[in-house]
Chain A
Amino acid sequence: MSLFQSATREVAINLTSRPGARLVTLLMVALAFIVFDTFLIISWNLQGIMDREENLVGMEVFLQRDISQAQGLVIGDNISSMPDVKSVYYVSPQEAEALFRAELPGRADLLDVMGNDFRLPASLQIVFEPETMNQGRITELSRQIGSIAGVDDAVYGEDYLPGLLKTVTTIRRLVILLGIVLVSSISMVVFYTVRLSVVRRSLTVDIMRTVGAPWWFIRIPFVIEGVFMGVIGSAGGLAISAILSKVLAGAVTHRFMPLSWMTLVILLGAITGTVGALAGSYEKER
């Protein structure tokens, strides 16, 4: 039997022995990951809400009444070539009136009072890149756009925008901070759980040392066991979280996390499991 075959046999023995203890370890790892998964689901949904809010960060540019649609579109093209401008949409007087009537049905009579010749001004709806947007930049853009010939007025949410941007930034920072804290604590839980399960088998490590097993022969089975427990535990946690998410979907509308995040969760499980197993075996092997 080659050394590799012997090592493979050790891995098989390790994975099949003490099923009870292994199950407890897996449950601990899975439970830790359920907490983490819940946080990720909340973050993912919060991210969606914040993205939607940020996409509202924009400006309404009213054009002078004597500007034709062709001229308005040219102004729109000029604005869309400015840095930090995500999109520009031309709203004709007819469309503006239709929007007014749709959004403020109780005040539609105001338009009728103004007479048949009255037309709402054409405007440009501008959406900015949310990543680069801040109060200073938006004020600067407002000044630039306001000075373009044919532009009557540039309006943005001066009252609510600073608060919105600040809130979104604060929430993002809090989520990142909480994420770091959770990743650290989950890693510690998995690390110590796996390490403990390895240390429990210190006799095996002791015997392996005294009979002259090479260090990798002693460690590899534990490392594979660590990867196994990390991956199965985190995948199990994901599965339970997915079931819980489905059960709660009727009561709370939300989305489950994307596939890329799930892959990262399993990767985190594998890494922490491996590190825990390595630390446990190293501790006993010295």
Chain B
Amino acid sequence: MLVTMTGVRLSYGRWPALDKIDMEIKQGEFLVISGPSGAGKTTLLRLIWMGDRPDSGLVEVSGFRSDRIRRSELPQLRRKIGIVFQDFRLLHTRTVFDNVALPLQVTGTGKRTVQKRVISLLARMGLSHRRNAFPHELSGGEQQRVAIARAMVAHPVILLADEPTGNLDPEVSREVVELLLEINRGGTTVVMATHDPRQVPAGKGRFLFLDKGVLRGADRWTELDSET
């Protein structure tokens, strides 16, 4: 199992963000975590990259346990994880190439390897012609593709996408979801948090519904959909 959560509970002050979370994510899976704003989707992803630790319970990711991991080991875990955010989080003073190359540069990867890997990935994302552009010169869809390229450049075992289509129009959103599915077909585990799971075609992944910090199962959205 790539990710295991057992009896996880996390509060921010007196506000419970997640409660009684038990879940597993298998290698190569495409998992969609849906739920309304404030349901705890982002918090769940933060627990996976150990941006937060649970108040109680255990999170285990690729052999790293939340109760044992040392601060100095966090970078090692995070190098196995690619993260994509709704607001892209690109460095605006750096070019597309430098943004994508960042995860390799922070691990001291050789210049030639960085060059080769980034150029190949940019080609795959259809961004070769934009490699010297700055983020503010790109469309929203292009910025998100740069963010995905950055998340994928260091060959992560798991890709976390937190509302990756939240700032994009429907057409570009479809392209981004298709890109994530393609990455998953390549063997990378993808966990996508979204308020609208209908973006992912049925049968293409496993769906979990999160409500007020509690996992409500897979069929909740279907119920809500039929109610409307």
- Chain A residues with CB under 8 Å of chain B are 1-4, 6, 9, 13, 17-18, 203-204, 206-215, 217
Give the number of residue pairs across the A-B interface with Cβ within 8 Å: 62
Residues of the A chain whose Cβ atoms lie less than 8 Å from the Cβ of B75: 212-215
Residues of the A chain whose Cβ atoms lie less than 8 Å from the Cβ of B109: 1
CB distance from B56 to the nearest CB of A (A): 20
Cross-chain pairs A/B with CB under 8 angstroms, 29 sampled: A1-B108, A2-B108, A3-B107, A3-B108, A4-B108, A6-B105, A6-B106, A6-B108, A9-B105, A13-B94, A17-B93, A18-B93, A203-B91, A207-B102, A208-B102, A208-B106, A209-B74, A209-B78, A210-B49, A210-B78, A211-B79, A211-B150, A211-B154, A212-B75, A212-B79, A212-B103, A212-B107, A213-B75, A214-B75
A212, B106: Cβ atoms closer than 8 Å: yes
CB distance from B203 to the nearest CB of A (A): 31
Name the residue of chain B whose CB is nearest to the CB of A3.
B108
A204-B91, A211-B150 given. 14 additional CB < 8 A pairs?
A1-B105, A1-B111, A6-B106, A207-B102, A208-B102, A208-B106, A209-B78, A210-B78, A211-B79, A211-B102, A212-B76, A213-B75, A215-B71, A215-B75
B114, A1: Cβ atoms closer than 8 Å: yes
Whether B72 sits at the interface, judged by CB under 8 Å, is: yes
Contacts known (A1-B114, A13-B94); A211 close to B106, Cβ less than 8 A:
yes
Residues of the A chain whose Cβ atoms lie less than 8 Å from the Cβ of B216: none
- Chain B residues with CB under 8 Å of chain A are 49, 51, 71-72, 74-79, 81, 83, 89, 91, 93-94, 102-103, 105-111, 114, 150, 154
CA distance A207 to B81 in the complex (A): 13
Residues of the B chain whose Cβ atoms lie less than 8 Å from the Cβ of A13: 93-94
Residues of the A chain whose Cβ atoms lie less than 8 Å from the Cβ of B77: 212
A207, B89: Cβ atoms closer than 8 Å: yes
CA distance A215 to B102 in the complex (A): 15
Residues of the B chain whose Cβ atoms lie less than 8 Å from the Cβ of A2: 108
Residues of the A chain whose Cβ atoms lie less than 8 Å from the Cβ of B89: 203, 206-207, 210
Residues of the A chain whose Cβ atoms lie less than 8 Å from the Cβ of B72: 215
CA distance A2 to B102 in the complex (A): 13
CA distance A208 to B91 in the complex (A): 10
Interface pairs A-B: 9 shortest CB-CB: A3-B108, A212-B79, A212-B78, A213-B106, A211-B103, A212-B75, A6-B105, A1-B111, A17-B93
Residues of the B chain whose Cβ atoms lie less than 8 Å from the Cβ of A207: 89, 91, 102
CB distance from B116 to the nearest CB of A (A): 13
Name the residue of chain B whose CB is nearest to the CB of A14.
B93
